[in-house]
Amino acid sequence: MKDIRPHSQATYRSFLKRVRMEWADWRVEDMAKDIMAAENWINGYQTLPIPEKVEPDYIAKGKRVKGKVTPARPARDVSNKTKLHLKAFLHRLLECAMKWNLLTLQRNPFQLVEVKGKRIKVRMITYLTGEQYRALVADSELCQHVRVMIQIAMILGLRASEILGLRWEDVDFEKATITIRRSVVEKDMDDTKTQASEAELPMHEDLAMVLKEWREPNQDENGEDISVNGWLFGNILTGRPFWRGTLQKDHLIPAGKRVGIASLGWHDFRHTYRAMMGELDDIPLEMQKTLMRHSDISTTLSYGGKRSANKTRAANAKVVEMLRKRA
């Protein structure tokens, strides 16, 4: 899995562990023939139960996912999104089996698998209002580096991994641009999510002012860079960027609750950025795709939620007017 992003590798390992538990005694060709057995397993997929007595080395053995351990927690149904990811993983397994000559070259039978039910989001997306954004920026309890990250996320719609991957060499105050070149997830630095994600973006004067104020403590009297190894958001203890999950848990979620948002996530800013563009009729969809740095315009269309009735009222009125004339 050397060419797979580290986060995806962790997901694959988790799925592979469960596949081994269920299918270890099956030959790959038998699994490919009994596609209904695989489909039923995917649709009935559940989390592993947690025992009543949690052993001290439970975490060390890797027998739990991230989060709080709840003793005696029964198995729970997973979301349809997880089932779709599992289906894609099994599809890839059989593709590898054919590539490695362990299975006769054929149409991949997992193309026939149907995941039942709607693809319902486990976590509802939050769209921030202007008042909530201003309250977050003005929050005196919020760490300064988190406040600056929030402003970048809201003004440019960047992913948290891209914000943490920013270096001062990527910021050009003369040209008023920020270049997205890399992403950082926990301890791993990688390329951007897609080729389209790597781009030069305009830096508004409001953001330039925020970044200049943030840069002052990171320069010596001669203007030389003395930041943590050149990172915009470097942790002085590790010499590397902060961890996204820790920042969200310890700072972002508490700050969100203080402004009336139950569970604020980093990606909510990106969804809000797209939603605001959608409210402006003079920004073409192709330009929205470019600013979001999506490879496919269908991805852009899936961001930002549905338009309010006030935005669709005029279009509806035109249809009704046409109906009147034809009547």
Per-residue pLDDT at 318? 86
Q: Which has the closest alpha carbon to 145: 264, 21, 28, 228?
A: 228
Per-residue pLDDT at 36? 94
Write down all domains in the chain, each with its CATH number in brackets.
Answer: 6-112 (no CATH), 130-286 (1.10.443.10)
Give the helix ranges, DSSP H, for the chain.
Answer: 6-23, 28-33, 35-43, 80-99, 130-137, 144-156, 160-164, 205-215, 244-247, 253-258, 267-279, 285-292, 297-302, 309-326
Rounded distance, CA 235 to CA 256, Å?
A: 23
Per-residue pLDDT at 235? 93
Per-residue pLDDT at 66? 47
What residues pair up with 241 in beta bridges, in sequence order?
A: 234
Structure tokens at 139: 């929050």
Per-residue pLDDT at 1? 67
Per residue in 169-228, pLDDT tens? Answer: 999 999 999 999 999 988 888 888 888 899 999 999 999 999 999 998 877 677 777 788
CB-based burial label for 135 (10 Å; 0-12, 13-18, 19+): middle
Per-residue pLDDT at 122? 54
Per-residue pLDDT at 81? 87
Q: Which residues of the chain carry a pLDDT beneath 70?
A: 1, 53-71, 118-123, 220, 305-310, 327
